Chain A
Amino acid sequence: MSKPLPAVVRTHFTALRVLLVLTVILGIAYPLLVTGISQVAFSGKANGSIVKSDGKEVGSSLLGQNYNLPKKNPDDPKEDPVPDPKWFQPRPSANNYAGDNSGASNLGPNSEDLLKAVNDRRAAVAAFDGVDPASVPADALTASGSGLDPHISVAYAKEQVNRVAKERKLPVETVAKLVDNYTEGRSLGFLGDEGVNVVLLNKALGESK
């Protein structure tokens, strides 16, 4: 007859059995249930809020993206991207809007690198949009937390209206109207902050010929 295992060892076997049972319930059954219901009830949202333009997928309405001119030499990784004046430009991004590498700059409030970046951006954005450098809003000068922020402030969107209208040879009022259409208020009127969804705005802009 074999001796019973010591209590300490038995406790560990109990622990392992509990963990396996809970893993099946909480780690397999639960996410499968939630996925099943989500895919049936709101599959568009559950699959990433993909937006289409002329039947072709052009991104997610929740993820910001770049709107740059094509590179002169596509094989040169050092070539700096040049923003395309025909599109509304998003906020700076610490990861260049890479969908597989989200994150922030993590530069401190007194960081010299951040100070230089902010000053350089202020000069570049003011020249690009043809406005007074002092009037450029903060969201145009700072990188977001996710690096994928789909929104800009209403002020930054309005600043870009003249430039976009001129480049596209559209009436200023038409472009300003689009900005109004894609301005999203706070959720329920008070949660979060208002902003303009650049992805949806640019999609509408591309479709308005």
Chain B
Amino acid sequence: MSSTLAGWLQVLALVAALVLCYRPLGDYIARILTTSKHLRAERGIYKVIGVDGDADQRWPVYLRSVLAFSAVSVLFLYGLIRLQTFLLLNLGVPQMEGHQAWNTAISFVTNTNWQSYAGESAMGHLVQMAGLAVQNFVSAAVGIAIVAALIRGFTRNRTDRLGNFWVDLVRINLRLLLPISIVFALVLAANGVIQNFHGFHEVAGLAGDVQKIPGGPVASQEVIKELGTNGGGFFNANSSHPFENPTGFTNGLEIFLILLIPFALPRTFGRMVGDNRQGYAIAAVMAIFWVASTALLTLAESQHSGAALQAAGAAMEGKEQRFGIAASTLFASSTTLTSTGAVNSFHDSFTPFGGGITMFNMMLGEIAPGGTGSGLYGMLILAIVAVFVAGLMVGRTPEYLGKKLGGREMKFASLYILTTPAIVLVGTGIAMALPGERAGMLNSGAHGFSEVLYAFTSAANNNGSAFAGITVNTDWYDTALGLCMVLGRFLPMVFVLALAGSLAQQQPVPATPGTLPTHKPLFVGLLSGVVLIVVGLTYFPALALGPIAEGLSS
């Protein structure tokens, strides 16, 4: 079988698997988010934490709960990392510096999983499983909870209640993330991903070279790292490490896990608003961008432009033989179009245009299909903008799913859209203006600029992948990128919840012949155009200085 054919079969198999899961999983998540029944275990938990599971919250209270939970999580994780030298299973790693521990704690709580440390030499098993992996679960659940609140803004009328954050958080973890994780952690372990509590184990190889073979509870963390679109590797090499991703099969499974929940959530949305066609329209826009990006990226990498890659004859630098080009680019486009940031090949060594596409994917705001929850709420904000643009064209007050989009709603949507680009571009600008930070680049010229731009794009969009050549474990980068992650995660959430609160208070307006139908191909095209124009063009000047300049000059 030729590599091209195998590459396309991988894409087709993945699409088939996601299509099969779309309805059952989307409907299941909708049930979790709407049922009034509590499981016995959940009732026990509500008793322990002192929460009334049937009491809904107003949007400011919902927001306060999200922020309080995240703040406590950052402090807890920071403490756990700083104190790990005194804890069990620490493997004798040295104590982490304060700035790096702050960066890491924020990174995992914000679902970014940017890593300025190398997993195997900086983290013991206890911090990995009870600190980092727990945030992999709960930060994903927070994203889904936020989008649940936004959807309730559409479905509820004349109320100021958006649901109960604690109930959403507990249910999403126990009923959705945990069962899927248990099943697929075992599948991964059965295929060679390690799952033990050993430390390093020295073995003399066939030619006498001594190698330290690592241990750890990797499979249990690997699965939630992908399923929760987190991306923080147990090892420095992330999903290119054979102990995280040993075969072509595990690689396909990990890509499937990355895309599973983000692509099922539009169904949840359609089901909750009572019109499944609305979900299909949103999923279609997501799929268009995902397919286009995967095809372009694969094309760019197969052509291996760039002087060094031309000399080698193929873009295999930073890629694993068992994956080859096609399975590497499929992973790369999926990880950067969601907020995952796990890598099975190193984007810094991609061709100039290939690397540029991974960056552009993140700049789109990670909405195709995006992170768990965050992808859908990002896409719904853009859908609101698309409806608004269409309303301007015909001169009538726009409405989406029976809710009027007035000045207040559009203000929140606009603030949402402006936040991330502002953080990325201002952050990159400051870094390039400071001589010391410029020196952190591994490569020079346009490629060096791309490394800095990629870092800020990745942090502000909560992706976490890197053009890893840049030296980021410095006071300045740890602090600056930490701030970008916090602002890039929580400011948009504030606007989304405020918008949801405003929508929920409205009385629905009945659809008229003049209402823009938001489930037809016309709307799919309109929304795709808005995504490209609004988001893509914001970054065009910065992209021109980096990957485009490099691609044209080589």
Contacts and interface: CB of A to CB of B under 8 A. Distances in A.
B214 A99 contact: yes
A129 interface: no
Contacts of B197: 35
Contact of A34 (B186, B240, B251): B186
A65 B45 CA distance: 49
A160 to B, nearest CB: 14
Contacts of B40: none
A108 B195 contact: no
B206 A59 contact: yes
B321 A153 contact: yes
A8 B68 CA distance: 8
Contacts of A7: 64
Contact of B323 (A190, A193, A199): A193
A194 to B, nearest CB: 8
A106 B242 contact: no
B306 A109 contact: yes
A72 B134 CA distance: 49
Nearest to B201: A48
Interface stretch (A112-120, A164-172, A173-181): A112-120
Contacts of A33: 182
A104 B166 contact: no
Interface stretch (B22-30, B154-162, B341-349): B341-349
Contacts of A65: 205-207, 209, 211
Contacts of B50: 14, 17
A124 interface: no
B48 interface: yes
Contacts of A138: 312-314, 316
Interface in B298-356: 304-309, 311-327, 343-346, 348-352, 355
Given A23-B134, A47-B196, A144-B321, A100 B214 contact: yes
B213 A110 contact: no
A49 to B, nearest CB: 6
A141 B317 CA distance: 8
A127 interface: no
Q: Which size bracket describes the interface of A in this complex?
A: 35 or more
Interface string B105-120: 0000000000000101
Contacts of B252: 187, 191-192
Nearest to B132: A27
Interface of A: 7-8, 11-12, 14-19, 21-23, 25-28, 30-31, 33-35, 37-39, 41-42, 45-50, 53, 57-60, 62-63, 65-68, 70, 84, 87, 91, 97-112, 114-115, 117-119, 122, 137-139, 141-153, 184, 186-193, 195, 199, 202-203, 206
Interface of B: 1, 3, 5-6, 9-10, 13, 45, 48-51, 64-65, 68-69, 71-73, 76, 118, 120-121, 129-131, 133-134, 137-138, 166, 169-170, 173-174, 178, 181-182, 185-186, 189-198, 200-201, 203-209, 211-215, 217, 219-221, 235-237, 240-243, 246-249, 251-252, 304-309, 311-327, 343-346, 348-352, 355, 442-443, 447, 467-469, 550, 554
16 contacts: A15-B73, A19-B69, A34-B189, A45-B193, A65-B206, A87-B206, A97-B211, A106-B348, A108-B348, A109-B307, A109-B355, A141-B311, A141-B312, A145-B346, A146-B242, A192-B247
